[in-house]
Amino acid sequence: MRILKVMNSLMKRQFFFVICSLIMGGFTILCNVGLLSTSAVLISRAALHPDVLDLMVLIVGVRFFGIFRGVFRYFERILSHDATFRILSSIRQWFYKNFNENYSEKRKFKTGDIYTKIVTDVDKLREFYLRGLYPLIIAILTGVATGLFIASFSINLAWTYGIGYILTGFILPILIYKLNNNFLEEERKLNKSINLMLLDSLKGIIEINIYPLKNEFAEEFNYLSKRLTHIQKKKNLINIFGTNLNSLMGTILMGLALIIAAPLVINGELEGIYYAMLPLTVIASLEALIPMNMVMYKFKETYESGENIFAVIESSHINNSNEFEKIQNYDLSVKNLSIYDNDTDAFIINNLSFELPYKKKVAIVGVSGSGKSTILKALLGFIKYREGEILIGGEYYKNMSIDDIREAFTAIEQNPYVFNTTIKENLLIAKKEASESEILSLLDKFEILDLIKNNEKGLDTLLGQFGYNISGGEKQRLMLVRALLKPSEILLLDEPTSNLDIELEEKIVKAIHEEIHNKSCIWVTHRLVQMDKFHEIIVLDKGQVMERGTHKELIDNKGMYYKLWNLQNDYLHL
């Protein structure tokens, strides 16, 4: 596990705080053991009605352990959490130092922003020390110290305690984890599938209404929910079984302590006042084993997060070190492209091929979840593909740098990012040298010049975080203007008019085609507007090409595209 080597190296930098927290944690448990043990001896001694002065040492001992248990617990919490956050800081510094901007996004990150995912994985590593390594070390130290203490009274009892302690704190948690592991993996996959379905439904709410998908969506969602509930019940039963088994083992150990110690008292090898102390010592030491049930889960979580992080740092299916001359020919070719999702064991894109000669326009249509957006991500180098090749200008992607590839494209996502700054600064990101007249001309063409005129600050109007100061339609049109300002040769559009009403959409689609007549374009959409302007339309369903051709050809074929076209027109009453 590479991540363990990294964590070990980073924890050495915080050696002082780690050691101090371990010492405080060990003393906390030992104070608890001492408190119960001393209390047992005190009660047993007091039953013999000795002089009060003979009990003073024991009374002071009980008070000492009671007070310092709280003191050590307080400092243990401070130092362990301080060490944890120091380690987290070191992890973040290590990661961002090694971060590779040219990362090709793995399939496990397909549903979210890569940077958000990485923050989540990095933050998960902080639990490795606090919930994983720290409880393990405390449990070992407590077991050794308690075992040596018991051995001073009875070697046989010490061996019995050691075996029971290892079985309860180390063997049983591993067995419970093994029993639960398959359920945990299935639960993770089901949760991911449900989240994907909800995300698809939110993004494609119009499609669900336009196309007959309501019943299919509801049935699949209910099926996944029932499976998830069933898995969670089984997982909870195993956890309850493990908890009860731990309690049973504690009771058995206490009983064995009484059984083994009884002959020693009878034979005079052990004073009677210590008879109650030994089982209570055993029970008190088991407090250190309470967190052990979670240790295996934290180690697994650390491993998975570590693999994700190393994938980001190291993984890039596009070789960025190769020297390559600037692209001269912008003909795009996709040959037998297949993209596989390891989590669902299914192809997202299966054996896709198409040609996009320079200045030609291709539309990719299909219902939500058919793999349309995945194609654009693959073209931009954000997704690994298992099979096939992508070429631009006759050159294979694998021989080109990611910077050269992405320089050829302008991409608009379904939810383009808006910076928390002015309209002008958001637009100049695409083209720093753009003149104000050029900007205003495009704003006018895309029906958004009123936004400038209606604000006193004009182009210096602040858009707010994520563009919250403007509507979804205004944001989408602004981002279209920004995209068209960029001097690239191939435009990738992913539902660029999804937030517009029908009448405005017609105008904007027409304006886009006018602006990109000298560029290549791949337009992903489920809204079939002015489709006769495309040189080819590819109809996708579950990652496979169902049919392809021009708008007229597909309508004449009366296949899947024809049905989608009629369904949309019926819904919109066209």
What pLDDT sits at residue 151? 92
Contacts of 505 (CB under 8 A, 6+ apart): 497, 527, 529
Q: Which CATH architecture has domain 332-572?
A: 3-Layer(aba) Sandwich (3.40)
Residue linked to tokens 């290892």: 166
What pLDDT sits at residue 99? 65
How many angstroms separate the CA atoms of 135 and 339, rounded?
A: 42
Residue % of the chain over a pLDDT of 70: 88
What pLDDT sits at residue 102? 43
Residue linked to tokens 């910077």: 403
How much is the average pLDDT of 150-157? 92
pLDDT for 113 beyond 50: no
**Position 529 confidence tier, pLDDT thresholds 50, 70, 90:** confident
Considering only residues 447 and 171, tell me which one the structure prediction assigns the higher pLDDT. 171
Q: Which of 44-48, 87-91, 114-118, 398-402 has the highest mean pLDDT?
A: 44-48
Q: Which of 92-96, 101-105, 156-160, 319-323 has the highest mean pLDDT?
A: 156-160
Contacts of 337 (CB under 8 A, 6+ apart): 349, 351, 352, 353, 375, 378, 385, 387, 388, 389, 390
Contact between residue 390 and residue 378 where contact means Cβ atoms under 8 Å apart: yes
How many angstroms separate the CA atoms of 175 and 173, rounded?
A: 5
**Position 368 confidence tier, pLDDT thresholds 50, 70, 90:** confident
**Position 50 confidence tier, pLDDT thresholds 50, 70, 90:** confident
What pLDDT sits at residue 194? 78
Residue linked to tokens 């923050």: 119
What pLDDT sits at residue 112? 43
pLDDT for 379 beyond 70: yes
Which fold would CATH assign to domain 2-314?
ABC transporter transmembrane region fold (1.20.1560)
What pLDDT sits at residue 199? 63
CA nearest neighbour of 485 among 445, 417, 431, 443: 431
| Cα-based angle 288, 289, 290 (whole degrees, multiple of 5) | 95
**Position 64 confidence tier, pLDDT thresholds 50, 70, 90:** very high
User: What distances in angstroms separate CA 336 from CA 348, 350, 521, one per listed residue?
Assistant: 13, 8, 20
pLDDT for 115 beyond 80: no
How many angstroms separate the CA atoms of 383 and 394, rounded?
A: 21
How much is the average pLDDT of 365-372? 81
Average pLDDT, the chain: 82
What pLDDT sits at residue 538? 92
CA nearest neighbour of 29 among 17, 40, 37: 37
User: Bridge partners of 357?
Assistant: none
What pLDDT sits at residue 39? 92
What pLDDT sits at residue 563? 87
pTM higher than the cut 0.85: no
**Position 70 confidence tier, pLDDT thresholds 50, 70, 90:** very high
Strand 387-392 to 395-396 pairing: antiparallel
What pLDDT sits at residue 318? 44
First to last CA, the chain: 60
Residue linked to tokens 């000492």: 64
Average the pLDDT over each of 95-109, 157-171, 335-349 and give the range with the smallest value.
95-109
Average the pLDDT over each of 160-164, 194-198, 424-428, 535-539 and give the range with the smallest value.
194-198
User: What distances in angstroms separate CA 477 from CA 42, 313, 387, 483, 494, one per listed residue?
Assistant: 81, 35, 36, 10, 13
Contact between residue 487 and residue 328 where contact means Cβ atoms under 8 Å apart: no
**Position 110 confidence tier, pLDDT thresholds 50, 70, 90:** very low
Same fold, 2-314 and 332-572: no
CA–centroid distance for 79 within its chain: 28
CA nearest neighbour of 95 among 396, 306, 301: 306
Considering only residues 333 and 204, tell me which one the structure prediction assigns the higher pLDDT. 333
Per-domain residue ranges of the chain: 2-314, 332-572
**Position 304 confidence tier, pLDDT thresholds 50, 70, 90:** confident
359: left (phi over 0), alpha (psi -120 to 50) or beta: left
Rg (CA), the chain: 33
Helix axis angle for 436-445 and 472-485, nearest 10°, is 130
How much is the average pLDDT of 39-54? 88
Helices and strands (H, E) in the chain, number of each type: 21, 10
Burial 279-306, CB ≥16 within 10 A → b, else e? bbbbbbbbbbbebbbbbbbbbebbeebb
What pLDDT sits at residue 259? 93
Average the pLDDT over each of 16-20, 99-103, 324-328 and give the range with the smallest value.
99-103
What pLDDT sits at residue 145? 92
Considering only residues 206 and 146, tell me which one the structure prediction assigns the higher pLDDT. 146
How much is the average pLDDT of 151-168? 92
What pLDDT sits at residue 258? 92
How many angstroms separate the CA atoms of 526 and 239, rounded?
A: 46
pLDDT for 108 beyond 70: no
